[in-house]
Structure 1
Amino acid sequence: MTEKKNMKDDEYGVLLYYKYTDIPNIDDLFRFYNSNCNSLSLIGRVRLAPHGVNVTIGGKLSALEEHIAVMSKNQLFEGTDFKLATCSEPINDKVAEECGFTTLSIRIVKDLVTLSSNPLSKPPDISNSGKHLSAVEFHSVLQNAGKSVTDASKKLVLLDARNLYETRIGKFHAPNVETLDPEIRQYSDLPSWLDTHSDKLRGNQILMYCTGGIRCEMASAYIKSKGPGFENVFQLYGGIQRYMEQFPEGGYFKGKNFVFDHRVSVGSSNANVLGNCLICSFPFDDYSSRIRCSYCRMLVLVCNECQGKNLYVCELCQKYGKLVESEPLSIQTKGSKKLRILCLHGFRQNASSFKGRTASLAKKLKNLVEFVYIDAPHQLQFIYQNKEIGDLSSRRPISPPYKQCNRKFAWFVDPDTDENTSSDWEAAHVPFDSLQYQKQTAGFDKSLAYLKEIVSDNGPFDGILGFSQGAAMAACVAAQQMSLKGEIDFRFVILCSGFSVNLQQYEKNPIKCPSLHIYGSDHGKDTQIAFDASRSLASLFDEGCSVIVEHDCGHIIPTRSPYLDTIKDFLQRFL
C-alpha cells in the first residue's frame, strides 16, 4: 500500500473540469483557488466567472486527487465531471510556457468561453444547452445511424465545435453520418458559421462534440436559441477525452485529440496520422514546434524537414487570397498585437488628407490600433466656385487655381453626374449645397468590388472606420457582413459623422454588426452632416451591440476626454 502511494506521489497528471453555476462570491472563490492550488504546487489555468469555473491544472497525481476531494465537498461543484489523466511532466519549456503550464494563472473573466467575437452581444441561456449523452450513448447513436426508419425526415448530422487546427489531427467519422467541420480559426467564429449554414442543421438531429464538453454547452444553447427546427441538439458529455477513456482503441474517433496543455495531443492505442505537413503534405500531426501562420497566427503543421522557413501561410489564409511567396504586411508577435483598422475617407477627400485629419487620433491610439488609409475608387473632377469679385463696375470672374492639387475621391457619386477624370479645373455650375450628400447614392457596386481587392491584398483587418461618406460606405458593408464572409472579414465598424445610403430595408431588421457611432450632437456645430442623419444611421444598428458618442466638436472625430475614453473602451473589448 505504501509502495502504491509512493508511486502516486511520483506520478504527474493533468486535471480538467468546468462547472456552470451561479457563484455567490467570486472573490472568496478566487482566494480559495489561490490558496489551495499553491499549497498543492499545482500549475495551469483557472478561470472564474459569475456563472461558473473552467479549470485546466497540472501537478503530482496525489495533489490533484486531493484537490478533487476538496472541491467535491463544495455544494457548488456537485455533479462536476473531474477529468483526471496521468502523463509525463512538462519537459518542453516552449510548449509548456505557451500553454500556460509553467505557472499558476487564476483570473476572473466575463465569460468562461468566448462564443462571439462581438463583446457587446448577450450570450445564449446556458440552461437551454443540448442534451448530454454519455460516451456509450454517443457511440450507440453513431453505431445505429441509418438503421432507424421511425423518422427518416430527421437526418443525423455530426457537428465538430473545435477549431480547424484541432480537427486536422483528429475527428469523429462514422458511416452514414454527415460530419460538419466549420473550419474556424477560433471558437468565437462559430456563431457566424452556424448562422450562415443553419440550413444544414434545421430539422435534423444534431450531435455535437468538442475536447472536454464546455464549448458544446454554449454552442448547443446558441443553436437551440434559433427556435423551431433546432430543438434536437445533443452533445458528448465529457467530450472526446471521456470517449477515448471509454473506447481506448478509438471507436469512431480517428487520429489524436488536441489538448490545451503541455501534452499537445492525446491519441488512442490505434491512432492513425490524419494531419499533413503544410509545406510538403507528408503525413504529420505534431504541433510541438508551435509554428504559426505568419498572417493570422493560427497553429500550423510543419514537419521537421520543412521547418526553418521564414513564412508559413495556413490553409485558411491561402484560401482567402494570401500567397505563400509574398511577405505579410505586418507579422504580429505575442504581446504586440494591435487592431488593424481600414480607414475610409469622406467625399472629395483622399487617403493622404484623411491621414492628416486623423493624425491626433492615431497618435493617441498608437498602442491600440494601426490605421490603414486608402483612396476611394471614384475619381472626382477638380472644381472651384466661380464667384465674381470687385465692385459692380469692375466685376470679373475668379480664375481657376494655379496650384497642382492631389486627386479627390468618393465612395458614392451623384447618378446624374458623369465621372470625369480630367486633370483640368472646372467651374461649379451651382453654388455649394450642404445637403449634396443626399444625392450621392450611386457607385456602391464598384466601391464594394474595390474593397474586396483591398482586403485580399492588404488584409486581414479587425475593423473598418469611416468618416462622413466613408461612414455611409462602411455602414453598407456592415449590413452585408454575413454575406461578405471570406471576402471582407472584420469584427466591428466605427462610423463618424455618418449617414445612411440605401439602407431602408434595415429599419425593421437591425444590423447586428458591433458598431461605434461618433457624431455631433443637436447643438454640436456639424455643418456638413445633419445630427438627425447620423442619429438615424445609428438607429439601424442593433442597440445591443452598438455604442454612441455624441459630441460638440463639429465635423471632426474628437480626441479629448470623455469622448476619447469611450473610443478606447470600445476598441479594448476587441483586443
Structure 2
Amino acid sequence: MSDDEGCTDQYGVLLYYKYTQIPHLDDLLTFYESNCSSLALLGRVRLSSHGVNVTFGGNLSSLERHIEAVKANSLFEGTDFKLATCHRPLNDKIAQECGFTSLSVRIVKELVTLCSHPLLKPPEITNAGRHLSALEFHSVLQNAEKEIPGNGLVLLDARNLYETRIGKFHAPNVQTLDPQVRQYSDLPSWIDGNHDQLKGKQILMYCTGGIRCEMASAYIRSKGSGFENVFQLFGGIQRYMEQFPDGGFFKGKNFVFDHRISVGSSDANVMGTCLICGCSCDDYSSRCRCTYCRMLVLVCSTCQNEAALYVCELCQNQGKAVRSMKLTEMGESETLLPDVELRNGCSDTIFSPQMSQGHDVRSSKKLRILCLHGFRQNASSFKGRTASLAKKLKKIADLIFIDAPHELPYIYQHPLSEHLVNCVSSPFPPSPPPPSENCKKKFAWFMAPNFDGGTRTDWKVADSPFDPLQYQQQTDGYDISLAHLKAVFSQKGPFDGILGFSQGAAMAALVSAQQEKLKGEMDFRFVILCSGFVVHVKEMDCGVIKCPSLHIFGDDDHGKDRQIANQASKELASLYDGGCSVIVEHDCGHIIPTRSPYIDEIKDFLNRFL
C-alpha cells in the first residue's frame, strides 16, 4: 500500500505571494508560526515590510484551511493561491533541499532578491508591468505576427538557466530571450547589457509563478522612454499550464521549487540534454551540481557517477575546468585528485572526478572571502593578525589568505638613533640583524618605480628611517599582481568578496574598479577595504565604482592610524557609489577592529550577502 493510500487526506502543495504594505510584521510572523504549526504545514514563509512569499506542503484539507485563514485578513485581498494535489515527498534528500522537512518563517529585506548589489534600493513595485491572464498572454502570442508586425514583440524568460534548460515558451515569429543567468540577482546586469534587444519593443515576461516578473518588470520600466510596454504573465507558467493542459506555447517542463522538481503538460517534450553525452534529459532528481558554482546540471542516469565532477555551461564559458593541481594556501600544499577525463560526446569539454565533500569548492552557507595582506606582510602574518576577526565571523564567512606576488628584500632598520649610527666614535657597536633563514618572506602588491625586482637572502640596512608616506610612491606592479589574483580565482575560487588591508585594500580597490571588465575571470560581489588608499594609476580612472563596499579606517580625532592617513581612506571611499557603500570609522589604529560596535557593523554588511 502506498503512502497516499495509507493516509486519509490527499497531499498538496500551495504557493502564493502578495505585494502589499505590512504594517505589523511581528504580528504576521506570529500568525504564520501559530497557524502553520497547528496545521502541520512544512515549507517556507518569507515576510517583509512590502509583502509575503509562501511555499507550503501538507494535507490538502490543512492547506485549504490555511487559505481561508489568510483570506480573512484584508491585506491579502486579490491574492492568487496556487494549490495543487501531488504525491507526498518520496526522496528525503530532495525534500530537505527544497525546505519541505521543516517550517521556516523569516523576516527578510526583499521577498526575492533582484539586485546583486544588496545595498542598492530595489525598484518600486508599483511600477511593475501590466498583468495578463493566461488567456490574454496566449492570445497575444497567437496573434503576434498580425497585430504586432516587424519583430515588435519579444518574450523574456525571467528564470535561471537550470530552469530554462527543461522548458520555455516558443511561439511562431516571436523571439524568446533567455538571459541564461545563474541566479535571479544576475538578471539586472543582463538587462543593462541588452538594452538594444528590449528598447522600443513590447515585452512579454514570464516566470514560474509570477513573483520574479513583478520586480524584474519594474526594473525594466525604470529605464524610462522606450521601456514602457512591459507585460507579465499573471500566475506564471503554472496558471498557463492549468489553462492549457497540452502546454500551449510552452514547450517542455516547468521547473518548480518543491519536491515535485518539475511539472509537465500532457504533451511535454523533453527539451533538456545531458551535460556529458548530449542525450535527451530533463530529470533533476539526482541533484547533480556544478562543482564551481553549485548550479544544478542535467546528467542522465547512464552518465551519473558518484565520483564524477561536473562543470556547468556557464563555468565552461568562463574557461573553468578541473585539473590535477596543487593549491598553496598559507604556505601549505593541498593536492587535488588526479585526472580521469570524461568527455562530452558533443564537444571536447573535459570533466574530471568529483572531489569529496570535504574539498567542496563552495560552501552553501558561508561566504568565501579572499584576504589581501598589507605591504611587507605575508599570508601567515595577516592570518595571525586577523585571528580574532576570523573567529567572530566563523559562522558566516571563511577567510582565505594568500601571499602577494612581489617578494621583498630583507630590510633592517637600525635600532640606534640616527646620530649615534652616523657617529664614528660611538661606543655602541651595531647589533647584527637576525639570520634570514629564521625569517619568513615578505611580499607586496605594489612597488616603488625604482624597485629592482630581485630578491635577497642577506640583510640590507635601511637607507633612511621609515617613511609613513612611502605608500604614495608605490605605484608599480599592478599587472603582475592582477595576473596573480586571476590565477588564484581560477585555482581557489569562487570567492564572494575580497578583503584588503592597507596596501592590500588599495589592490582590492583597483580590482573592484575593473569589476565589469574582469567578469568571467574574477567574479566577486563585494569588497572590504581596511585602512585603504588610492593608487593613482590609469585603471582607477573609471568613474564611480558601483561594487558594494565596506570601508573601515581610523577617524580624524582618535583613529591613531599613523601609517595611512584618515583623509587617504576617505578619498578612496569617495570613489564608490554612496548607495552601495558603508563607512565605518574607528579609534583603534592601523588594524581591523573586532570589538563592538565595529564587528557588528562588519557582520551586518556581510549578512546582506547571505
Comparing 402-411 and 380-389, the one that deviates more: 380-389
Structure 1 residue 66, shift from structure 2 partner: 4.0
Q: Deviations over 1:493-529 (max 9, x none)?
A: 1111100123799899532222111111113221111
Matched, 1:248 2:245: yes
In 2, the alpha carbon distance for the partners of 1:128 and 1:253 equals: 27
Query: Is contact 1:204-1:230 (8 Å) kept?
Result: yes
Q: Secondary structure of 1:489's partner?
A: coil
Q: Structure 1 residues 444 and 204, CA, compared in 2 at 3 Å: closer, same or farther?
A: farther
Structure 2 partner of 1:331 = 360
Comparing 241-250 and 294-303, the one that deviates more: 294-303
Query: Is contact 1:343-1:371 (8 Å) kept?
Result: yes
Matched, 1:126 2:154: no
TM-score, L = length of structure 1: 0.89
In 2, the alpha carbon distance for the partners of 1:186 and 1:111 equals: 15
Matched, 1:551 2:586: yes
Query: What is the number of residues matched between the two proteins?
Result: 566
Q: Deviations over 1:149-178 (max 9, x none)?
A: 66x4x7433221112211111111223333
Q: Structure 1 residues 106 and 353, CA, compared in 2 at 3 Å: closer, same or farther?
A: closer
Query: Is contact 2:514-2:539 (8 Å) kept?
Result: no
Structure 1 residue 145, shift from structure 2 partner: 3.6
Q: Residue 197 of structure 1 aligns to which amino acid in structure 2?
A: N
Comparing 120-129 and 290-299, the one that deviates more: 290-299
In 2, the alpha carbon distance for the partners of 1:338 and 1:10 equals: 40
Q: Structure 1 residues 430 and 147, CA, compared in 2 at 3 Å: closer, same or farther?
A: farther
Question: What is the identity percentage for the equivalent residue pairs of Structure 1 and Structure 2?
Answer: 69
Q: Structure 1 residues 435 and 142, CA, compared in 2 at 3 Å: closer, same or farther?
A: same
Query: Is contact 1:207-1:234 (8 Å) kept?
Result: yes
Structure 1 residue 27, shift from structure 2 partner: 2.9
TM-score, L = length of structure 2: 0.85
Q: Secondary structure of 2:599's partner?
A: helix
Structure 1 residue 126, shift from structure 2 partner: 0.4
Structure 1 residue 227, shift from structure 2 partner: 2.5
Structure 2 partner of 1:480 = 514
Matched, 1:443 2:477: yes
Structure 1 partner of 2:327 = none
Structure 1 residue 72, shift from structure 2 partner: 3.6
Matched, 1:410 2:408: no
Q: Structure 1 residues 44 and 349, CA, compared in 2 at 3 Å: closer, same or farther?
A: closer
Matched, 1:456 2:490: yes
Structure 2 partner of 1:492 = 526
Query: Is contact 2:446-2:477 (8 Å) kept?
Result: yes
Query: Is contact 1:42-1:63 (8 Å) kept?
Result: yes
Matched, 1:562 2:597: yes
Structure 1 residue 241, shift from structure 2 partner: 0.6
Aligned match of 1:187 in 178, 184, 187?
184
Structure 1 residue 341, shift from structure 2 partner: 0.9
Q: Structure 1 residues 500 and 42, CA, compared in 2 at 3 Å: closer, same or farther?
A: same
Q: Residue 234 of structure 1 aligns to which amino acid in structure 2?
A: F
Structure 1 residue 182, shift from structure 2 partner: 2.3
Q: Deviations over 1:301-359 (max 9, x none)?
A: 2323333423432413333313232666842788x732211111112222233223223
Query: Is contact 1:389-1:398 (8 Å) kept?
Result: no
In 2, the alpha carbon distance for the partners of 1:213 and 1:410 equals: 51
Q: Residue 219 of structure 2 aligns to which amino acid in structure 1?
A: Y
Structure 2 partner of 1:317 = 315
Aligned match of 2:197 in 192, 196, 200?
200
Q: Deviations over 1:406-440 (max 9, x none)?
A: 43322222335443345455555555322121122
In 1, the alpha carbon distance for the partners of 2:474 and 2:456 equals: 20
Map 1:119-518; keep pairs closer than 5 Å.
119-148=118-147, 152=150, 155-315=152-312, 316-320=314-318, 321-323=320-322, 324-325=351-352, 330-331=359-360, 337-384=365-412, 389=420, 392-394=423-425, 401=433, 403-404=435-436, 405-423=439-457, 425-426=459-460, 428-502=462-536, 509-518=543-552
Structure 1 partner of 2:567 = 532
Unaligned runs of 5+ in 1: 1-5
Structure 1 residue 389, shift from structure 2 partner: 4.4
Q: Structure 1 residues 125 and 410, CA, compared in 2 at 3 Å: closer, same or farther?
A: same
Q: Secondary structure of 1:306's partner?
A: coil
Unaligned runs of 5+ in 2: 323-350
Structure 2 partner of 1:17 = 16
Q: Secondary structure of 1:229's partner?
A: coil
Q: Structure 1 residues 310 and 19, CA, compared in 2 at 3 Å: closer, same or farther?
A: same
Query: Is contact 1:192-1:482 (8 Å) kept?
Result: no
Q: Deviations over 1:64-85 (max 9, x none)?
A: 3444344344322222222222
Query: Is contact 2:307-2:354 (8 Å) kept?
Result: no
Structure 1 partner of 2:109 = 110
Structure 1 residue 197, shift from structure 2 partner: 3.3
Q: Structure 1 residues 43 and 326, CA, compared in 2 at 3 Å: closer, same or farther?
A: closer
